[in-house]
Structure 1
């Protein structure tokens, strides 16, 4: 009942909002996660006014739209979101927005190549940004959608997209070289929740998350004990907290492992469901990914 009342309230706010005219005749774009905001900014550049709903450290799994957010959505010409039920509490809001151009960037990806998940209504792991090839596909998809919206700027969008894909190619080569410095038997990544499966598949890491794929599920005592036994068996030297997830569960896991006579350190904080602070290197997708890989490899060495 509370959920239904929430959706009704959001929809009433949305439909009561009047669309504002484009500021400076630019396209008004709204994005959900900070990763998508960064991606669309690289493609749209000065041709768009972009407003991201979620900033640094924000967990999209648990995020609820505020009245201010719904006003932004109502004033948008186009809305980009991740999809695959990553933004679980916003899905019904998007479905009610029949007169808005809402676009899930996950539609760019062949579902047959995605990692399956019984924990999401979409039946897929939604953390697609940790596969650089998927992010390149998302880039091309956004170029196409922006070009359809402003056809006269198609050449600019295509140029921006091509330049960004070159940067992603450079990133992939650099990260591959860094990862190859770590022996495969040491490539075991233990984190707060299972956000890194696409990363693991791309770079040959075994990935284990304490909370599973969604932060909406909490780890219990049995989960901690089971994972602590795994860490001792595999002689894992470091585990990682995440910037958008409370660190107490990983600290409890560390305590459980250390109580059994095995020394495991917290190797650092990784960016999983959100980028770093705006204006920092980690506040960009490329900077975030490079920071994560360097942190992981250095700690596991």
Structure 2
């Protein structure tokens, strides 16, 4: 079970030496934005264009479920004109900090805007939702509207208004591509087995059964019974591939391969998916569009479907 969020009287107390920027008035134009995840940061850069400078706290390979803010993060957040975080208990260890910060600065939990009837339940906390909504481009479209509203409310008008429409068209095209290529995967192979349960929204959107070794949070532990159940699934349904994740250990997946092999069924690693973090900066996979394109294309090809090796626009594997 993931540790409870840190409880503090005020996480901002005791930082008297940190230089504080004045609280941003809504009429003042946004200059510096701090975002927690790469997905939020990339979307903000697209929508804000030249009007904003965006810093992401969590880079490639970083697990947001267990991330705790550093002192340099705190300085950046206090001095930012706008802070955008995901919400839905993704940044579990930072919730109290953002509650404190919101009393002093503009702070927006962008995924909290999603209608509850579009959200899936959390496997460990019945009163919370699965936070991995970026796996469905139609949900990320709603989150993008919230990011745009936050930028507009803080003065980044013309750039956002010009960028939002084209961005929404890109998200729609990405969703259509995903539907098209994933539909080519044979029905009996439409099972996505990964290191942790980050792909339920992907499964719902594109009609895949999704099985994670760990639960929604990477802090949960996979027991022997869970490994054995997944080995049975792979063998009985003749699933050909499982997938590692860029921000999660592959130890459990290796156990699946060994267990299936011991029972005479070969399973391969279908490739590395981006789950809680995007690819390296400067690559197509280091953008939100590239991250999802990579996942969709890789899953389709590894499970017997048809998809172009270069993805939706031929950019997979290319430097941006």
Q: 1:275 aligns with which of 258, 278, 282?
A: 278
Match of 1:77 in 2: 81
| 1:56–1:276 CA contact under 8 A, matched in 2 | yes
Calculate the TM-score normalised by the size of structure 2: 0.87
Cα separation, 2, equivalents of 1:224 and 1:145 = 43
Q: 2:33 aligns with which of 29, 40, 51?
A: 29
| 1:84–1:120 CA contact under 8 A, matched in 2 | no
Cα separation, 2, equivalents of 1:5 and 1:166 = 40
Match of 2:201 in 1: 198
How many Å apart are 1:148 and its aligned residue?
Answer: 1.1
Match of 1:62 in 2: 66
Cα separation, 2, equivalents of 1:31 and 1:122 = 25
Kindly report which structure 2 residues correspond to 1:52-201, keeping only aligned pairs within 5 A, or say none.
52-97=56-101, 98-120=103-125, 123-150=128-155, 153-201=156-204
> Are the structure 2 counterparts of residues 147 and 232 from structure 1 closer, same or farther at C-alpha, using a change threshold of 3 Å?
same
How many Å apart are 1:295 and its aligned residue?
Answer: 0.9
| 1:85–1:121 CA contact under 8 A, matched in 2 | no
> Are the structure 2 counterparts of residues 5 and 176 from structure 1 closer, same or farther at C-alpha, using a change threshold of 3 Å?
closer
Match of 2:19 in 1: 18
Q: Spell out structure 1 runs of 4+ moving beyond 4 A.
A: 2-10, 13-16
Query: Where in structure 2 are there 5+ consecutive unaligned residues?
Result: 305-320
| 2:196–2:216 CA contact under 8 A, matched in 1 | yes
| 2:65–2:91 CA contact under 8 A, matched in 1 | yes
SS in structure 2 at match of 1:263 = coil
- 1:80-127 deviation per Cα after TM superposition (whole angstroms, max 9, x unaligned): 111010001011111122212211111221012200124247511000
Cα separation, 1, equivalents of 2:121 and 2:80 = 32
SS in structure 1 at match of 2:58 = coil
Cα separation, 2, equivalents of 1:238 and 1:186 = 9
Instruction: State the aligned residue count.
Output: 296
| 1:85–1:120 CA contact under 8 A, matched in 2 | no
> Are the structure 2 counterparts of residues 5 and 220 from structure 1 closer, same or farther at C-alpha, using a change threshold of 3 Å?
closer
SS in structure 1 at match of 2:47 = helix
Cα separation, 2, equivalents of 1:94 and 1:34 = 18
Cα separation, 2, equivalents of 1:67 and 1:177 = 45
Q: 2:291 aligns with which of 281, 288, 293?
A: 288
| 1:193–1:213 CA contact under 8 A, matched in 2 | yes
Cα separation, 2, equivalents of 1:30 and 1:36 = 9
> Are the structure 2 counterparts of residues 284 and 13 from structure 1 closer, same or farther at C-alpha, using a change threshold of 3 Å?
farther
Which protein has the bigger helix share? 1
SS in structure 2 at match of 1:138 = helix
| 1:30–1:73 CA contact under 8 A, matched in 2 | yes
Cα separation, 2, equivalents of 1:16 and 1:84 = 32
Pairwise CA RMSD of aligned residues?
2.1
Match of 2:316 in 1: none
> Are the structure 2 counterparts of residues 281 and 5 from structure 1 closer, same or farther at C-alpha, using a change threshold of 3 Å?
closer
User: Is residue 45 of structure 1 aligned with residue 49 of structure 2?
Assistant: yes
| 1:238–1:299 CA contact under 8 A, matched in 2 | yes
SS in structure 2 at match of 1:192 = strand
